[in-house]
Structure 1
């Protein structure tokens, strides 16, 4: 875990997600694409240029003593991160799961585990409704959702007019 990527995540948690570049380069090796915060937990999604490919990495944080503390995360191939947003499936699925991660919380905290899911959204999706909060979907269509309850939240993909396009519940791992 590169220290600068944790710092990029902390900056995004405090200032918001910067506008993502259209692609990575030798000079721009990483970019924070999305984040989600739910009370005292948070997750960032980062595209990172590696040798020969782009990696998708999630970074999980917990608010401890008033400061965000990095706990861990997950990663995998991220070649789709900067490609055009995927079309809905013939069955009407607008949310396309790309990966997930989970990490144990500090002892004595509510919810024993922090979990995340990384999604790619169809072009029709403008936002996600997640347990009473709304997550805007950026132009690139990548989004991450974090939770700490044993049961995964219900996600509702919304169009720009506020109409529900799809309801989805991630698997609880």
Structure 2
């Protein structure tokens, strides 16, 4: 099965549906991992089977005149458990001090990085560009949804997702459990912020 990043991203944006896939194979070479949409901007994440490893690829898209266009993104190789079910506690690793300082247990929530792109303006201000960015986050099995800028984003089975930020600078992520209880809030920083 071939992987067309733009076509698969548009399909994911339009459906907003993620189908759990626990592993990739020769027959199943990619799987949608997450999607976040804010007005005319979206970020999608896919797992892709490469040569001898798995890749996590993130794509930033902008909607212009009714069509989605890819404007940026990135990727990195990942471990074999990329699509595995999210654990009860996140594995020990580099502690995200931004989350820890705010009282959020790093076994529950970690910011893993992110990216962004400067996109030329259009319409009334064609020469003015805007910065579109996202953060990569990982949560444990306790977190079932994340709210950012009024958008409730369901957490996929693997607990990894890319989330669009609001404006340049920092923005707040609220973590909720299955009963709708607030588990904590984290102020995340844009990569270029």
Task: Give the TM-score normalised by the residue count of structure 1.
Answer: 0.89
Q: Which has the larger Rg? A: 2
Corresponding residue number in structure 1 for 2:105: 92
Contact kept in structure 2, 1:97 and 1:120, CA below 8 Å: yes
1:104 paired with 2:118, answer: yes
CA deviation map 1:46-91 (0-9, x unaligned): 1111111111110000111111111010111222422342415796
Determine the C-alpha separation between the residues in 1 that align with 2:184 and 2:57.
Answer: 25
1: CA distance, partners of 2:82 / 2:6? 19
* 1:157 alignment partner in structure 2: 175
Question: Shift of residue 106 of structure 1?
Answer: 2.1
Distance 1:114 1:150 in 2: 8
User: Which residues of structure 2 form unaligned runs of 5+?
Assistant: 93-99
Q: How does 1:80-159 map to 2 (within 5 A)?
A: 80-86=81-87, 87=89, 92-93=105-106, 94-107=108-121, 108=125, 112-147=130-165, 149-159=167-177
State whether residues 110 and 139 of structure 2, in contact with CA within 8 Å, keep that contact through their aligned partners in structure 1: yes
Structure 1: 5+ residue stretches without partners: none
Q: Choose 136-145 or 110-119, whichever is displaced more.
A: 110-119
Tell me if the contact between 1:126 and 1:158 (Cα under 8 Å) persists in the aligned partners. yes
Whether 2:62 is the aligned partner of 1:62: answer: yes
Q: Report the number of matched residues.
A: 172
- 2:40 paired with 1:27: no
Q: Which residue of 1 aligns with 2:97?
A: none
Q: Does the 8 Å contact 1:112/1:148 carry over to 2?
A: no
> 1:171: how far off?
2.1
